[in-house]
Amino acid sequence: DAGVIQSPRHEVTEMGQEVTLRCKPISGHNSLFWYRQTMMRGLELLIYFNNNVPIDDSGMPEDRFSAKMPNASFSTLKIQPSEPRDSAVYFCASSLGAGETQYFGPGTRLLVL
């Protein structure tokens, strides 16, 4: 069975550019999470969707970050404009329900120059 799919796996961009990260959750899962992983701050929850609705976006760092989930099988995380401090690995995870086991995608490694 396919797990959580993320694209691209690697992204290198220049400061000021728009970056869009994509995620396809596991079919049938109704909860989706975006995380950011850095050496300094570890794993941080950015946003949580339930049934395609954003429930908790308190972890979104600032207005440059936005996330959408137009349907049950697709979500995007957008950074506009990007800055060097956004360089990190971004993970998408999904689960059957809010309190169920979260399954992580392979991550997108973002480098902003």
Partner 1 sequence: GNSVTQMEGPVTLSEEAFLTINCTYTATGYPSLFWYVQYPGEGLQLLLKATKADDKGSNKGFEATYRKETTSFHLEKGSVQVSDSAVYFCASREGSNYKLTFGKGTLLTVNP
> Residue numbers of the site for partner 1 (CB under 8 A)?
4, 31, 33, 42-43, 45, 48, 50, 55-56, 91, 93, 95, 98-99, 101-107
> Minimum distance from CB of 74 to partner 1 (Å)?
18
Distance CA 48, CA 46 (A): 7
In this complex, which beta carbon is closest to partner 1, that of residue 47 or of residue 79? 47
In this complex, which beta carbon is closest to partner 1, that of residue 5 or of residue 64? 5
Distance CA 87, CA 44 (A): 14
DSSP string, 50-99: ETTEEEE-TT--STTEEEEEEETTEEEEEESS--GGG-EEEEEEEESSTT
Beta bridge partners, 74, equal: 71
Q: N- to C-terminal Cα distance for the chain?
A: 36
> Minimum distance from CB of 67 to partner 1 (Å)?
15
In this complex, which beta carbon is closest to partner 1, that of residue 31 or of residue 82? 31
> Minimum distance from CB of 18 to partner 1 (Å)?
24
In this complex, which beta carbon is closest to partner 1, that of residue 64 or of residue 72? 72
> Minimum distance from CB of 107 to partner 1 (Å)?
5
In total, the chain counts a number of residues equal to 113
